[in-house]
Amino acid sequence: MSERQTHKENLRVLLIEDHKIFREGVKLSLKLQDKIVFKIDEAEDAAMAIQLFDCFKYDVILLDINLPDMQGDELAEKLLKKNKEAKIIALSMHDETEKIKQMLQVGVKGYLLKNTGTEELVKAISTVMSDDKFYSNEVALKLIESNYAPTSQNDSLLSKREVEILKLIAKEHTNEEIAEILFLSKRTIDTHRQNMLNKLNVRNTVGLIKYGIDHKII
Tell me the residue ranges of DSSP E strands in 17-158: 36-43, 60-64, 88-92, 110-113, 134-135
For the cut 60, the answer to whether the pLDDT of residue 6 exceeds it is no
pTM: 0.68
Tally of structural domains, the chain: 2
Whether 164 and 138 share a structural domain: no
CA distance 70 to 137: 27
The DSSP line for 121-156 is HHHHHHHHHTT--EE-HHHHHHHHHTT------SPP
**Residue-wise pLDDT tens digits, 175-194:** 999 999 988 889 889 989 99
The CATH code of the domain that includes 35 is 3.40.50.2300
In this prediction, residue 101 has a pLDDT band, given cuts at 50, 70 and 90, of confident
**pLDDT for the residue numbered 2:** 41
Which region, left, alpha or beta, applies to residue 201 given φ > 0 means left and ψ of -120 to 50 means alpha?
left
Structural domain harbouring 34: 9-145
On whether residue 153 sits in a domain, the answer given is: no
Mean pLDDT, rounded, for 108-117: 91
Domain-ending residue, one of 117, 145, 173: 145
14 and 118 belong to one structural domain:
yes
User: Is the domain of 121 the same as that of 189?
Assistant: no
Q: Give 46-100 pLDDT, tens digit per residue.
A: 999 999 999 999 999 999 999 999 999 999 999 999 999 999 999 998 778 888 8
38 in the same domain as 101: yes
Domain assignment of residue 102, yes or no: yes
* 177 and 108 both lie in a single domain: no
Whether residue 119 is contained in a domain is answered as yes
In this structure, are 32 and 124 located in the same domain? Answer: yes
pLDDT, position 35: 87
In angstroms, the CA 218 to CA 216 distance is 6
Q: What is the pLDDT, as a whole number, of residue 133? A: 83
